[in-house]
């Protein structure tokens, strides 16, 4: 019996990558693979009906999913309306660290298993974090801009302007998951003393790499603070004016996690006042960053447009992980990364 599959890729995780990895993972399967190209990142993702961070429209997906049993995607929305219109769908694989573009509750009610791809961009994001730490600690953003406009900033050899070395510095990491733990190991290799705040890990998990400490102690001791936490009710806005004031004078703040973790106006105030020496951000409360936002003109900030997880290797890993889930599903095996396993138990 032929299984119809939709490979709904975009300009990053290409439809052909999803198809190629699926074919490689299921060499004996009788598959009819359809491909759909979504506009992200040329068109920013956004809210589609009740789901966030999605690309494409409900009508587009309803048409593409007719008769489809399995969908492999990165950004396609999975909404109540789509689920009602596509009764043949049984598996929806999201090649991201979490299925934020899928209505999980509705999928469960409709009997659709939703999978995701944890750790797909851990290496890329860890490397980008380190790049922002180094750039912010040494003022690279400002001097790069000035030099391109013809100004030679020799004053960065002034003692009060000199940057921070990683070797011997205390670096605090908020979060010790797949990304934070990689950043920690590299920082230790560079000679840093690493502190970690993460309520979900044990001292044994960080033993030999870092010290597990409360957030207030991490902020007070660290010369560099880097965020690696998910956004929850507990973490939203966790770095605000009070926390920034508790950081050491002349310290650096880096965020490659989520913009909702930080009060960016408070960061700009602290940079303008000289309390923070620098900052590096890849994520923002509103994306793209609005014209006229303070972050775009505040000295000492290094900015990148949410590209920390963007490497060719990530695109291949993402496609490979969801293709492997589809292969397990077709063989009747237990799924490795299912967000709603109760659907499978019900079957």
Q: pLDDT digit string (tens) for 230-241? A: 989 999 999 999
- Domain match, 113 and 141 both: no
Cβ neighbour number for residue 156 with a 10 Å cutoff: 15
State yes or no: pLDDT of 329 exceeds 90.
Answer: yes
- Domain match, 260 and 237 both: yes
Question: What Rg, from alpha-carbon coordinates, does the chain have?
Answer: 22
Domain CATH for 179 = 3.40.50.720
- Domain match, 328 and 221 both: no
- Domain match, 50 and 111 both: yes
Q: What is the C-alpha to C-alpha distance for residues 117 and 127, in angstroms, rounded to an integer? A: 19
pLDDT, residue 81, reads 98
pTM of the entire predicted model: 0.91
As a whole-number percent, the residues of the chain with pLDDT over 90 amount to 95
pLDDT, residue 262, reads 98
According to DSSP, the residues that pair with 149 across neighbouring strands are: none
- Domain match, 45 and 99 both: yes
pLDDT, residue 160, reads 87
Token representation of residue 298: 């505040």
Question: Residue 287 catalytic?
Answer: yes
Cis peptide before 119 (omega within 30 of 0): no
- Domain match, 132 and 256 both: yes
Sequence-distant (6+) residues with CB within 8 A of 343 are: 107, 108, 111, 112, 113
Active-site residue, selected from the candidate residues 11, 287, 294, 316: 287
- Domain match, 321 and 250 both: no
Token representation of residue 159: 């003692």
Three-state DSSP class for residue 281: strand
- Domain match, 15 and 145 both: no
- How sure is the predictor about 53, in pLDDT bands with cuts at 50, 70 and 90? very high
- How sure is the predictor about 161, in pLDDT bands with cuts at 50, 70 and 90? confident
Sequence-distant (6+) residues with CB within 8 A of 119 are: 97, 178
- How sure is the predictor about 346, in pLDDT bands with cuts at 50, 70 and 90? confident
- Domain match, 128 and 18 both: no
State yes or no: pLDDT of 347 exceeds 80.
Answer: no
Token representation of residue 243: 């926390």
State yes or no: pLDDT of 189 exceeds 90.
Answer: yes
- How sure is the predictor about 139, in pLDDT bands with cuts at 50, 70 and 90? very high
Active-site residue, selected from the candidate residues 182, 221, 248, 306: 306
Active-site residue, selected from the candidate residues 258, 320, 328, 337: 258
Q: In this structure, are residues 277 and 248 in contact, taking their beta carbons and an 8 Å threshold? A: no
pLDDT, residue 114, reads 98
**Which residue segment(s) compose the domain that 246 sits in?**
122-303
Q: What is the mean pLDDT of the chain?
A: 96
Token representation of residue 28: 């004996």
pLDDT tens digits for 33-42? 999 999 999 9
Q: What is the C-alpha to C-alpha distance for residues 124 and 306, in angstroms, rounded to an integer? A: 12
Total count of domains within the chain: 2
DSSP 160: G
Q: In this structure, are residues 72 and 326 in contact, taking their beta carbons and an 8 Å threshold? A: yes
Question: Residue 258 catalytic?
Answer: yes
Token representation of residue 268: 């700009």
- Domain match, 128 and 116 both: no
- Domain match, 127 and 163 both: yes
- Domain match, 155 and 249 both: yes
- Written as one string, the DSSP assignment of 135-159 is HHHTTHHHHHHHHHTT---GGGGSG
Token representation of residue 82: 């789509």
User: Measured at the alpha carbon of residue 269, what is the angle toward residues 264 and 274, in degrees to the nearest 5?
Assistant: 125
């Amino acid at each position: 019996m032929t299984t119809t599959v939709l490979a709904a890729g975009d300009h990053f995780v290409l439809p052909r990558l999803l198809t190629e990895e699926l074919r490689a993972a299921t060499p004996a399967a009788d598959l009819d693979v359809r491909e759909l190209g979504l506009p992200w990142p040329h068109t920013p993702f956004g809210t589609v009906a009740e789901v966030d961070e999605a690309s494409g429209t409900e009508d587009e997906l309803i048409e593409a999913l007719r008769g489809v049993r399995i969908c492999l995607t990165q950004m396609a929305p999975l909404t109540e309306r789509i689920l009602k219109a596509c009764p043949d769908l049984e598996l929806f694989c999201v090649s991201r660290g979490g299925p934020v573009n899928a209505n999980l509750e509705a999928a469960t009610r409709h009997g659709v298993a939703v999978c995701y791809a944890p750790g797909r961009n851990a290496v890329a994001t860890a490397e980008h974090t380190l790049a922002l730490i180094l750039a912010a600690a040494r003022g690279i953003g400002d001097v790069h801009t000035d030099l391109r406009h013809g100004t030679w900033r020799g004053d960065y050899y002034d003692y009060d302007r000199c940057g921070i070395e990683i070797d011997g510095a205390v670096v605090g990491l908020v979060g010790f998951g797949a990304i934070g733990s990689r950043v920690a190991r590299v920082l230790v290799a560079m000679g840093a003393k690493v502190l970690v705040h993460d309520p979900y890990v044990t001292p044994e998990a960080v033993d030999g790499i870092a010290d597990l400490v409360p957030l207030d102690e991490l902020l007070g001791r660290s010369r560099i603070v880097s965020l690696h936490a998910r956004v929850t009710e507990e973490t939203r806005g966790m770095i605000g004016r009070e926390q920034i004031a508790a950081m050491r004078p002349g310290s650096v703040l880096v965020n490659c996690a989520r913009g909702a973790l930080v009060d960016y106006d408070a960061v700009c105030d602290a940079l303008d006042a000289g309390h923070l020496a620098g900052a590096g951000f890849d994520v923002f409360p509103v994306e793209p960053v609005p014209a006229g936002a303070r972050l775009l003109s505040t000295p000492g900030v290094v900015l990148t447009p949410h590209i920390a997880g963007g490497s060719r290797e990530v695109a291949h890993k993402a496609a490979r992980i969801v293709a492997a889930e589809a292969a397990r599903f077709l063989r009747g095996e237990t799924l490795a990364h299912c967000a709603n396993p109760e659907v499978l138990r019900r079957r």
